[in-house]
């Protein structure tokens, strides 16, 4: 198929950005979206023009490196699919495709389609873990975990940290990402001792970087792992408890 691309090009954080138009003829429908960009890049290099910078690594939808706005949608048209897993058969011959980086105040543009997502690491650093130093662990079967809890924790833990939720949100809110990590840890018995300390630390760090959630729900449909916004409700409730409750008693909640 023959396509036309409009791609955001920007040399660096403080440089001026603009759209550039590229013809992309002879694209196979079996290509992934990123392979299509590889092809465009090969042609640009042949013409001695600098290739488009974009982030990617696993190309299996798991590392969370990739992610661009495709015709205004984070990760493009296919639900539950990261950019690297999107294949060109989702498009039609003759399509015009607009490709942009994630747009959020907290994410500086590094170059072209690459943005700096390090604020997500700051949120994890603030408390997104269970403190279990190496060597001190009891036998893994000592604490049975109901299958339903383990499964629900896994649903939330499936987050790949791509930041599509933030890019899709009109407020650039970080709620889905943050609440997914909280739900992962808080649904497990191992996560209880630090539960309320964790929610406070992570939510307050999140607020340093990102906007507030006004329940648009765009995040859920942009998420390549279809993570549920129910996690946000759990986070909000826990945050309230953390703020109101006597910590010594919180464990009995």
Partner 1 sequence: MTTTTLDSKVPSGPIEDRWDNHKFSINLVNPANKRKFTVIVVGTGLAGASAAASLAELGYRVRVFTFHDSARRAHSIAAQGGINASKNYPNDGDSAFRLFYDTVKGGDYRSRESNVYRLAQVSADIIDQCTAQGVPFARDYGGLLANRSFGGAQVSRTFYARGQTGQQLLLGAYQAMMRQVHLGNVELTTQTELVDVVVKDGVAVGIVTRNLLTGDTESHSAHAVVLATGGYGNAFYLSTNAMKSNVTAAWRAHKKGAFFANPCYTQIHPTCIPASDEFQSKLTLMSESLRNDGRIWVPDKVGDDRPAADIPETERDYYLERRYPAFGNLVPRDVASRAAKKEVDQMKGVGPLRNGVFLDFADPIDRLGEGEIRERYGNLFEMYERITGEDPYAQPMRIYPAVHYTMGGLWVDYNLMTNLPGLYCLGEANFSDHGANRLGASALMQGLADGYFVLPYTIGDYLSESLGNEPVPTDDQVFKDAETEASDHVNRLLSIGGTRSVDWFHRELGKIVWENCGMERNAEGLEKAISEIQALKTEFDTDLRVLGSADRLNQSLDKAGRVEDFFGLAELMCRDALHREESCGGHFRVEHQTEDGEALRDDENFSYVAAWDWNGGEKPTLHKEPLEFEYVKLAQRSYK
- Residue 141 binds which entry of ligand FES, partner 1, none, with Cβ cut-offs from 5 to 8 Å by kind? partner 1
Distance CA 178, CA 198 (A): 11
Q: How far apart are the first and last CA of the chain?
A: 59
* HSE-up of residue 198 (Cα within 13 Å, Cβ side): 26
- Residue 14 binds which entry of partner 1, ligand FES, none, with Cβ cut-offs from 5 to 8 Å by kind? none
- Strand 69-70 with 96-100, pairing: antiparallel
Taking the complex as a whole, the smallest distance from the CB of residue 223 to ligand FES amounts, in Å, to 12
Contact (Cβ atoms closer than 8 angstroms) between residue 184 and residue 156: yes
Taking the complex as a whole, the smallest distance from the CB of residue 104 to partner 1 amounts, in Å, to 15
Q: Show the tokens assigned to 225.
A: 């792992």
Sign of torsion over alpha carbons 40, 54, 86, 4: negative
- Residue 66 binds which entry of ligand FES, partner 1, none, with Cβ cut-offs from 5 to 8 Å by kind? ligand FES
Count other C-beta atoms under 10 Å from residue 23's C-beta: 11
Q: Show the tokens assigned to 162.
A: 């791509």
> Given the rule CB under 6 A, which residues bind ligand FES?
56-59, 61-66, 82-84, 160
Residue closer to ligand FES, measured from CB, 59 or 245: 59
Q: Show the tokens assigned to 204.
A: 């307050």
Taking the complex as a whole, the smallest distance from the CB of residue 202 to ligand FES amounts, in Å, to 23
- Residue 51 binds which entry of ligand FES, partner 1, none, with Cβ cut-offs from 5 to 8 Å by kind? partner 1
CA dihedral 104, 219, 82, 29 (to 10 degrees): -100
Residue closer to partner 1, measured from CB, 130 or 216: 130
Residue closer to ligand FES, measured from CB, 63 or 98: 63
Taking the complex as a whole, the smallest distance from the CB of residue 45 to partner 1 amounts, in Å, to 5
Residue closer to partner 1, measured from CB, 198 or 213: 198
Residue closer to partner 1, measured from CB, 141 or 215: 141
Contact (Cβ atoms closer than 8 angstroms) between residue 128 and residue 114: no
- Residue 249 binds which entry of partner 1, ligand FES, none, with Cβ cut-offs from 5 to 8 Å by kind? none
């Amino acid at each position: 198929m023959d396509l036309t691309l409009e791609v955001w090009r920007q040399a660096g954080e403080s440089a001026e950005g603009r759209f550039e138009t590229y013809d992309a003829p002879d694209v196979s429908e079996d290509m992934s979206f990123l392979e299509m960009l590889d092809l465009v890049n090969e042609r640009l290099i042949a013409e001695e023009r600098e290739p488009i910078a974009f982030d990617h690594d696993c190309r299996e939808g798991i590392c969370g490196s990739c992610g661009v706005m495709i015709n205004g949608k984070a990760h493009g048209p296919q639900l539950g699919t990261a950019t690297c897993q999107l294949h060109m058969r989702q498009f039609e011959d003759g399509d015009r495709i607009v490709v942009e980086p994630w747009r959020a105040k907290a994410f500086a543009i590094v170059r072209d389609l690459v943005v700096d997502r390090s604020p997500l690491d700051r949120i994890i650093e603030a408390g997104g873990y269970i403190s279990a130093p190496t060597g001190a662990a009891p036998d893994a079967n000592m604490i049975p975990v109901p299958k339903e809890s383990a499964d629900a924790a896994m649903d939330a833990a499936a987050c790949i940290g791509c930041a599509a939720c933030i890019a899709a949100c009109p407020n650039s809110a970080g709620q889905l990402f943050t609440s997914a990590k909280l739900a992962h840890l808080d649904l497990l018995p191992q996560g209880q001792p630090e539960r309320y300390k964790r929610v406070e630390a992570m939510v307050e760090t999140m607020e340093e970087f990102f906007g507030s959630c006004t329940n648009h729900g765009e995040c859920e449909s942009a998420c390549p792992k279809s993570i549920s916004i129910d996690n946000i409700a759990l986070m909000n409730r826990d945050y309230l408890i953390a703020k109101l409750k006597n910590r010594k008693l919180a464990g009995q909640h």
